[in-house]
Structure 1
Amino acid sequence: MENFKKILKKDFKKKIRCAKLSSVDEDEYGEEGLLRMDVGYKFGDYKTLRFLGSGGYATIWLVKNKAERTYEALKITKSYIGDREKAEKEADFMEYMMKMGTHRNIVDFLGGFQITVEDACHLVMRYEVMGPNLYDIIDYKTKFHPDVVRKMIKHLLKAVEYIHRQHIIHMDIKTENMMFEISHEDIRDMAKSTDTTHNIYHLDLTRANSKFTLKLADFGLACIIGPSNEKADPPASPFRPPESVLTLTVDFPIDMWSVGCTIYEIVTRKQLLSCTPEDNDSYRLLHKLAKLLGPIPKAPFTIRTRPDALSVFGDDDCIHQGNPNVRRNFANAARKYLNDDDSEAFAKFLIQFFEYDPKKRVTAKEALKNWFIVPKGDQSIRENEVICLSKLTYNIHFSVNKTSESAFSYAIENSQLLAVFVCQRENSIQGQPLS
């Protein structure tokens, strides 16, 4: 039996390399920049074990919480006040949601605190340790079982349905912000590993009954539904709907457009809209959308319209760039990964996310009932997916933004060998640890 297991391990435990994690440029450590750290850095009850990545304004570290004897992921911001305010906003939303109860498809927030080093203040947010993001797995181009694709989409929709019920608009839904839950075994192995080039995760995405959980992360751009949202940052260009260009309206349909873009990427392994830096020109983006999805009418965007927006429409009150067969194009894009029937069902399902009129765009709750997602009539929303917080404790030391305070009041089992996803990393943290 032992020899049989060794043979299985040799044959099936394959290493799949994901994209390299982002490196940290030396100039990011300058004045008002990142906290210079290295493996073994100690502060309070925490000791850094491994660099996990970096974002626009923070680094993420795997740490050991010595007081609670647990592993956590710490997101540590730059000291620049604007970046600290972004982090504080993110923490406010996470705290608000945690009070409602945790959800299986939302990354768990454990609290936060601030540290001051050499007169520079950095905010620290504590999260559960997660595995690779969906973008890295898609980028590798491993072939998923069609039922795995459905499950991925379902997990995304469940997360969005939940936050919308809590009156929250995420504003940054994309594959990079969908994270895979990993086992305690994986976390422990990652913490003990001396290999600084790879993280190894046991994830099986090739079989119909593959077990995994995807969670929505990064609420740094999120906002509460309401009239104060006019200044909210829009989604990135590839995920941005027409109303966020043409009007001041910020509402749930913005997220649903981004969800549609994300679903397209999950199924086809390509972004729906490839954007260059020049496409940050909002009206250039509209012309690309019209070419891809058909003429954009002015009628849905006449309320709370931006002052200069109406000039982009032609004499017939439309933006024209051709008349593509959108449904056929969606189906053809999916055929490399789905059979003909599923490709047609996918196209019919997806087109609902790209209704130009936000009022006609599908909601997360409606999408979860679509037979492309639940072909066997499975119940898509279950009460037990929201977990009571009676036993969950966390501490938050951030100052709550008073302007939003009123708004907040509203295995390896059965000896099955799993595919091993290896996120290639580089030892990119420069400089000496602080003493």
Structure 2
Amino acid sequence: HKTGLKELEVIKRLNDADPDDKFHCLRLFRHFFHKRHLCMVMEPLSMNLREVLKKYGKNSGIHIKAVRSYTQQMLLALKLLKKTGILHADIKPDNILVNDSKLMLKLCDFGAASHITENEITPYLVSRFYRAPEIILGVPYDFGIDMWSTACTVYELSTGKIMFSGKSNNEMLKYVMDLKGKLPNKIIKKGLFKDQHFDSNCNFLYHELDRVTERVCNANANIIHKFCFIKLRTRR
């Protein structure tokens, strides 16, 4: 109930700031309570970008002209979010709806949204594949986390593939650094959760899930273990 009221407040703020409906955030028609449950009536948009990808661009992405149009519209939504001081904090293809013609999109699901002054340091904000490194590290964050999620979404629309598909926060950092290089030490040192991913010299500690034991283990230790095991077997 409390979460629903917060989402209602966010949507109202966004709609009030965009009376002409030019910035691609979902419109609220009205709300009411039924048996003490909050009900919100939104504009009817039934298909999301995840479904568009599955139908029109599975494993290959959708047409570049569609990607460009969708990107422009998403950036307008980000502009409105920044203007109103709102962090969406869960941008992904599932939370972007399209109309019947597939030409127009709207950002939806503001259940995780908050005002920029209320942001909380937590390593599990935003769906994992679209989670910015600063969230994982526990560094103070801003509107950039929504831009990161949007960029990951654009990549997915273009290629049909998830950009960073880590199974944990640690693996997410690995994939990001494999592509972009190591994070700056000054950023790492600011992180509340840095010790989960880096040693005292800011060297990355990669952990992986053992498929047999289902326990998290240090990758370096695991490699040494496998090396010793293979060596013993070959000596017999």
TM-score, scaled relative to structure 2: 0.76
Match of 2:16 in 1: 99
> 1:164 matched to which residue of 2?
82
Per-residue CA deviation, residues 198-252 of structure 1 (Å, 9 max, x unaligned), is xxxxx36xxxxxxx111111111011111x3225661111011111121252311
Q: Quick one: distance in 2 between partners of 1:132 and 1:147?
A: 19
Looking at structure 2, the residues matched to 90 and 220 of structure 1 have their Cα atoms a distance apart, in angstroms, of: 5
Aligned to 2:215: none
The alignment yields a C-alpha RMSD, in angstroms, of 2.3
Cα distance in 1 for partners of 2:134, 2:67 equals: 29
Task: Find the aligned partners of 1:139 and 1:311 in 2 and give their Cα distance.
Answer: 35
Structure 2 match to 1:230: 120
The CA deviation at 1:89 is: 1.1
Q: What whole-Å deviation, never above 9, does each CA across 1:186-209 have from its counterpart, x for those lacking one?
A: xxxxxxxxxxxxxxxxx36xxxxx
Q: Structure 1, residues 335-374: CA drift from partner, whole Å, max 9, x if none? A: xxxxxxxxxxxxxxxxxxxxxxxxxxxxxxxxxxxxxxxx
| Residue 228 (structure 2) aligns with | none
Q: Distance in 1 between matches of 2:113 and 2:97?
A: 17
Task: Specify the alignment match of 1:309 in structure 2.
Answer: 194
The residue number in structure 1 matching 2:142 is: 251
Aligned to 2:152: 261
Question: 2:119 aligns to what SS in structure 1?
Answer: helix
- Structure 2 residue aligned with 1:239: 130
- Secondary structure of 1:139's partner? helix
Residue aligning to 1:335? none
Q: Quick check: 1:295–1:318 contact (8 Å CA) kept in 2?
A: no
AA at the equivalent of 2:198? F
Q: Distance in 1 between matches of 2:166 and 2:203?
A: 22
Question: Which one has a bigger Cα radius of gyration?
Answer: 1
Residues in 2 aligned to 1:128 and 1:287: alpha-carbon distance in whole angstroms: 40
Report the equivalent of 2:218. Answer: none
Tell whether 2:50 aligns with 1:132. Answer: no
Deviation (angstroms), 1:146: 2.2
| SS at 1:295 equivalent | coil
- Once the two structures are TM-superposed, the CA of residue 311 in structure 1 deviates from its matched residue by 5.7
Contact 2:125 2:131 in 1 (8 A): yes
Q: Which runs of 4+ in 1 moved over 6 A?
A: none
Work out the CA distance in 1 between the residues paired with 2:13 and 2:51. 29
Equivalent residue letter for 1:123: L
* 2:80 is the counterpart of 1:214: no
CA distance in 1, matches of 2:144, 2:125: 12
Q: Measure the CA separation in 2 of the matches of 1:287 and 1:294.
A: 9
CA distance in 2, matches of 1:318, 1:109: 48
Tell me, which stretches of 5 or more residues in structure 2 are unaligned?
207-236
Q: CA offsets, 1:394-420, max 9 Å, x none?
A: xxxxxxxxxxxxxxxxxxxxxxxxxxx
Q: Which amino acid aligns with 2:55?
A: Y
Q: Larger RCO: Structure 1 or Structure 2 (Cα < 8 Å, ≥ 6 residues apart)?
A: 1
**Maintained 8 Å contact 2:7/2:110:** yes
2:7 to 90, 103, 120: 90
Map 1:1-400 onto structure 2 (within 5 A).
84-102=1-19, 103-104=21-22, 105-116=24-35, 121-142=36-57, 144-182=62-100, 203=101, 212-226=103-117, 228-230=118-120, 234-276=125-167, 279=168, 282-303=169-190, 305-306=191-192, 308-310=193-195, 312-314=197-199, 316-319=201-204
Report deviation, 1:318. 4.3
Query: Deviation string for 1:157-183 (max 9, x for gaps)?
Result: 11111111111111000111111123x
Letter in 2 for 1:288: Y
- Looking at secondary structure, tell me which structure has more helix per residue: 2
Give me the whole-angstrom Cα distance separating, in 2, the residues matched to 1:146 and 1:311: 39
Task: Find the aligned partners of 2:184 and 2:203 in 1 and give their Cα distance.
Answer: 4
Q: Are residues 311 and 108 of structure 1, via their aligned partners in 2, closer, same or farther at CA, if it must alter by over 3 Å?
A: closer
Change in CA separation of 1:271 and 1:313 when aligned onto 2, cut-off 3 Å? same
Q: Is the 8 A contact 1:294 1:320 kept in 2?
A: no
Structure 2: distance between partners of 1:255 and 1:296: 19
Quote how far apart the aligned CAs of 1:289 are: 2.6
Amino acid at match of 1:158: L
Deviations 1:259-297 (A, max 9, x none): 111011010011112244xx1xx3343233323433223
Distance across 1 between alignment mates of 2:138 and 2:147: 17
* Cα distance between partner residues in 1 of 2:3 and 2:85: 19
Count of residue correspondences:
200
CA drift at 1:316: 4.7
**C-alpha distance 271-284 of structure 1, shift in aligned 2 (>3 A):** closer
Match of 1:114, SS state, is strand
